[in-house]
Amino acid sequence: MSCLIHTTGLAHAEGNFNIISYGAKGDGVTLNTNALQRAVDAAASSGGGTVLVPPGRFLSGSFALKSHVTLHLQKGAVLLGSTDRRHYRKINFHGLILAHQQHHIGITGEGVIDGQGAELAQHTMQLHKEGKLPSANEAERPTIIHFRLCENVTVQGITLRESACWVQLYRECTQLLIENIKVRTCAAITNDGIDIDSCANVVIRGCDIDSEDDGICLKSGPRFCENVLIEHCRIRSSCNAFKLGTASVKGFRNIVARQLDIYDTYFSGIALELVDGGVMENVSVSDVRMKNTNNPIFLRLGHRNADGAVGTIRQISISNLRAEIPNRRKSEMNKFPPNWRHLCTTLITASITGLPGHPVRGVTLRNIDLTYGGIGDEPKADHHLLENLAKIPECARNYPESKMFGVLPAWGLYLRHLDGLVMENINLRVSGRDYRACLVADDAKQLTLSQCHIHSAGREPVVVLNDVTTATLRDCPPPKDTKRYLETRGTTKEVEGP
């Protein structure tokens, strides 16, 4: 699997422009928007340079970076976003630091940018209630960084805190490097850590993310999101840690994510979603460690764009993954937003699902080790049972989330509408007890299971194949005390092994 990644760097420009020289005051009270913009304009008019933010607390509304200008926050510098929504401007989204059609720009240093998101979101809501804003949704709540149609962008070293919306949004940018930054944001809903929308040639490296919403999220609107490398990142999320979609209009290709440390995540560690048409292809996720995550893998082809074509998912590889999916009490999920806690479900089965007539194609799972907590010996009223596979909802038009199907009839892996799956060197177990089958495949073709070691068995058959054509199970020993290992149903045919 190839992925063409181009790193980027700032062009070294002459001159430092200290914002103090342009009237800025680091008292945490004075509004420094104009001083910051004057410093940026001076650097740009000089052919480029570095705008220095010295130690202090500098309050500001929206200002815009320009080509060949780097904003550098020295150690001890704190750039505070105004809590007054009226101090913000927009490109297509509002933001504290804006850039549109600029090149060779950057934000660097050891300082902090604090969006003061809780207060800003509250003020946005208040203005909406007063009829002064059309809504208080993502289009109205400011991000900290919003760059659009920019080229050669570097964001390095800084700490980003408490946004009122997504922390940082890069849309239709090329040659983007985000490296060694920290994100700490649980100030408001939809607090994504990093959003990359319709960008090309992107490197995200060495980042440490703790976010209320998705940690690192790739989106696709008018363009493909392509040639993206994500590596050596640590992620905690109250939703999904690493996610493709939504939106997913054009699609994703040549995406590599590796060396990820995912922890305390309440939906999916890996969520690959295509529900708005488009194509997802040539995606590789490898060398991932998950701990205290509610779902390890969610791969979903849906049809939210009901009036458009169904998209295509193909050539997906997930390898060298180890995950712990414990049965946690909801009271332990203290970072999940209080008004959202009723949505949270523990022990969500890994799943790969397409739609009738539109299978997910060409998936490889290799060197996977999953440990689930187990849901007990008896089904409950809201559980989907093996005898009722046809009643599991398709949810074709739903917003995609790993819990969308409810409690599935498999504890380890649920497959539906799939063509071409290779599973090699897989270890699946429950630490407690679970009555369900480990693996259920429904409406699938060309399944190959090699060296799949299932270490736990419940009351149900361990592996269930329903309407499956051509399946090979090789070196897949049954777990101890298994009563029924393999059960075939419906039109299943051409099964070899175990």
Looking at residue 310, what is its pLDDT?
97
Looking at residue 337, what is its pLDDT?
60
Looking at residue 2, what is its pLDDT?
45
Query: How many whole angstroms separate alpha carbon 445 and alpha carbon 293?
Result: 30
Looking at residue 328, what is its pLDDT?
75
pLDDT band at 1 (very low <50, low <70, confident <90, very high): very low
pLDDT digit string, tens, across residues 140-190: 999 999 999 999 999 999 999 999 999 999 999 999 999 999 999 999 889
pLDDT band at 8 (very low <50, low <70, confident <90, very high): very low
Query: How many whole angstroms separate alpha carbon 383 and alpha carbon 392?
Result: 10
- Taking the CB of residue 332, how many other CB atoms lie within 10 A of it? 12
Quick check: 379 pLDDT over 60? yes
Looking at residue 11, what is its pLDDT?
41
pLDDT band at 493 (very low <50, low <70, confident <90, very high): very high
Query: How many whole angstroms separate alpha carbon 441 and alpha carbon 295?
Result: 18
Looking at residue 341, what is its pLDDT?
57
pLDDT band at 331 (very low <50, low <70, confident <90, very high): low
pLDDT band at 133 (very low <50, low <70, confident <90, very high): very high
* Mean pLDDT calculated for residue range 462-467: 97
Query: How many whole angstroms separate alpha carbon 202 and alpha carbon 200?
Result: 6
Give the whole-number percent of the chain exceeding pLDDT 70: 94
Which has the closest alpha carbon to 288: 328, 353, 241? 241
Is the torsion defined by CA of 154, 150, 253, 250 positive or negative? positive
* Mean pLDDT calculated for residue range 253-262: 98
- Token pair in block for residue 338: 């209080």
Query: How many whole angstroms separate alpha carbon 117 and alpha carbon 163?
Result: 4
Average of per-residue pLDDT values in the chain: 94
Q: Which domains does the chain have, with CATH numbers?
A: 1-213 (2.160.20.10), 276-336+343-498 (no CATH)
Looking at residue 498, what is its pLDDT?
80
Weakest-pLDDT range from 25-39, 77-91, 341-355: 341-355
Q: What is the 3-state secondary structure (H, E, C) of the chain?
A: CCCCCCCCCCCCCCCEEEHHHHCCCCEEEEECHHHHHHHHHHHHHCCCEEEEECCEEEEECCEECCCCEEEEECCCEEEEECCCHHHCEECCCEEEEEEECCEEEEEEECCEEECCHHHHHHHHHHHHHCCCCCCCCCCCCCEEEEEECCEEEEEECCEEECCCCCCEEEECCEEEEEECCEEEECCCCCCCCEEEECCEEEEEECCEEEECCCCEEEEECCCCEEEEEEEEEEEEECCCCEEEEEEECCEEEEEEEEEEEEEEEEEEEEEEEECCCCEEEEEEEEEEEEEEEEEEEEEEECCCCCCCCCCEEEEEEEEEEEEEECCCCHHHCCCCCHHHHHHCCCCCCEEEECECCECEEEEEEEEEEEEECCCECCCCCCECCHHHHHHCCCCCCCCCCCCCCCECCEEEEEEEEEEEEEEEEEEEEECCCECCEEEEEEEEEEEEEEEEEECCCCCCCCEEEEEEEEEEEECCCCCCCCCCCEEEECCCEEEECC
Looking at residue 189, what is its pLDDT?
87
pLDDT digit string, tens, across residues 419-442: 999 999 999 999 999 999 999 999
Q: What is the pTM assigned to this prediction?
A: 0.94
Query: How many whole angstroms separate alpha carbon 42 and alpha carbon 398?
Result: 50
Query: How many whole angstroms separate alpha carbon 265 and alpha carbon 239?
Result: 6
